Structure 1
């Protein structure tokens, strides 16, 4: 197929479940293949076009599976990356945002005092706040938590994959639930 109107190999297509929930982001070639195999239907097209010798078609922007796929509702893996993502790369003591290289995690109740390494006792922390806190509790160090930590649900993990900075406008109505609601 010839690329027309600037179609790149990295053109992305939103893949929806039959229930219109986002499942994945795939490349345009895979999307077109799934259309021809009858596994998906095109929900929205982009302005871009591709052609072969016998056919011309617009590149899909959003496709939907014809058959529903059940979601695997696994627990969220406890990891540094997921702790930072849960806390949105924000120090839970001073409130500033940092790059992962300038963050660490902190045991709210220090391990030296019986604190365990689990979702409810770990928060994202900047290095200066971590030094200030040391082996103390937040209260003893004169610090307070921005929010109490909790274990994320499988739904958070699934939806956080779609927290795209600038999604194409056509995707927004399918990604609206992945943003944090204002209280």
Structure 2
């Protein structure tokens, strides 16, 4: 196969399963094709509820048909000679580990859980204009936990200061919770483009971050 040359599809996201079909992570299409070229993985194509396994050679044949009949249903990458559809799901052939069940507590996941929305005024902001607020302030022994941390805009955070919402006469728009699934994945599932992921994620709670 010719080396992958270019295409916005290289940045598309691909769901990775272990050899027992358990979802373990999300990677870039570039990384996925690297695994396929080395025969370390195969494509899992979901068609009318049926799982169809493809090695890279047969996936190239599927790509030829997809380009003719459903080009808008896929992301694409281009080599010197070929256009290849980006698979939405691949399965690692020799990896049998299960993912960590704990969702990592970090800024990116907090912003994703709260969907970049200030949890006091309810307005959406870019991440550069958001901060992390302790509902019960550190000065009052508030912990660094999912249930005590929320996104807040600069204005609301300054207004609240070192007080609880009750003390500041402010109200949270929703109660902060620990997500069962990586909140970044929940955002992806809101797009019809990643509809096929649901078959592998509905029963899975997993936490590997997008890379």
- Name the TM-score class by shorter chain: 0.5 to 0.7
Query: C-alpha separation between the residues in 2 aligned to 1:51 and 1:20?
Result: 34
Aligned to 1:173, the other structure's residue is in SS state helix
Map 1:20-59 → 2, pairs under 5 A: 21=23, 23-25=25-27, 26-27=29-30, 29-34=33-38, 37=39, 39-44=40-45, 45-46=62-63, 47=67, 59=85
Query: C-alpha separation between the residues in 1 aligned to 2:162 and 2:187?
Result: 35
- Cα shift at 1:162: 7.2
Structure 2's unaligned 5+ residue stretches are 46-61, 68-75, 203-211
Query: C-alpha separation between the residues in 2 aligned to 1:164 and 1:41?
Result: 22
Correspondence for 1:132? 159
Q: Does 1:8 align with 2:7?
A: yes
Encode CA deviations 1:12-66: one digit per residue, 9 max, x unaligned. Answer: 47344242636333326415414xx3x43333443368688xxx89555243334
Identify which of 89, 94, 117 aligns with 2:144.
Answer: 117
Query: C-alpha separation between the residues in 1 aligned to 2:23 and 2:123?
Result: 33
Query: C-alpha separation between the residues in 1 aligned to 2:122 and 2:110?
Result: 15
The structure whose residues are more often helix, as a share, is 2
Encode CA deviations 1:143-166: one digit per residue, 9 max, x unaligned. Answer: 11122222334xx23x62574499
Query: C-alpha separation between the residues in 2 aligned to 1:124 and 1:103?
Result: 6
Structure with bigger gyration radius = 1
Aligned length, in residue pairs: 167
TM value normalised by structure 1: 0.67
Query: C-alpha separation between the residues in 1 aligned to 2:161 and 2:8?
Result: 49
Q: Contact between 2:133 and 2:157, CA under 8 Å: does it hold in 1? A: yes
Identify which of 143, 166, 178 aligns with 2:170.
Answer: 143
Query: C-alpha separation between the residues in 1 aligned to 2:190 and 2:144?
Result: 35
Indicate how the Cα distance of structure 1 residues 175 and 115 shifts in structure 2: closer, same or farther if over 3 A, else same.
Answer: same
Identify which of 186, 192, 195 aligns with 1:172.
Answer: 195
